Homo-oligomer: A and B are copies of this chain.
């Protein structure tokens, strides 16, 4: 994963461990920037939750994507998955310390967005207005 880019970076004379970091940074940013991760982590920030509960709390997510995303988060060690051998079965997901520390780091970025979203949305509107003036003049 990202091996291709890593190779290209090192080939251009960038130190291998620095290339590693670039790749991992992009990896992590892509994960927290994907369609569902933030919403799942937000739902888990209050405490452990079950699969079905999460499915209900994250609006619009499919079972497939919930399963995939949870698995990826467990793989990275950001979540734990605890399966209890009962009937009916019960599985609980919970943020790990690593997951919580990432959530705090992301919170900084959320803070930035909260402070600057008006500016961004305004810039987009202005840009789009200009463009439509150019493409559809008069």
Q: Which residues of B contact A117 (CB under 8 A)?
A: 20-21, 24
> Inside 8 A of A30's CB, which chain B residues have their CB?
33-34
- Distance A124 CA – B102 CA, assembled complex (angstroms): 16
Copies of this chain, tallied across the complex: 2
Q: Give A90-127 as 1s and 0s: 1 = Cβ < 8 Å from B's Cβ atoms.
A: 00000000100110011011111110110111111001
The interface on chain A, measured as residues whose beta carbon lies within 8 A of the other chain's beta carbons, has a size of 50
CA distance A32 to B15 in the complex (A): 23
A38 within 8 A of B: yes
The answer to whether B24 and A120 have CB atoms under 8 Å apart is: yes
Q: How far is the CA of A29 from the CA of B105 in the complex (A)?
A: 13
Please state if A109 and B39 are interface contacts (CB–CB under 8 Å).
no
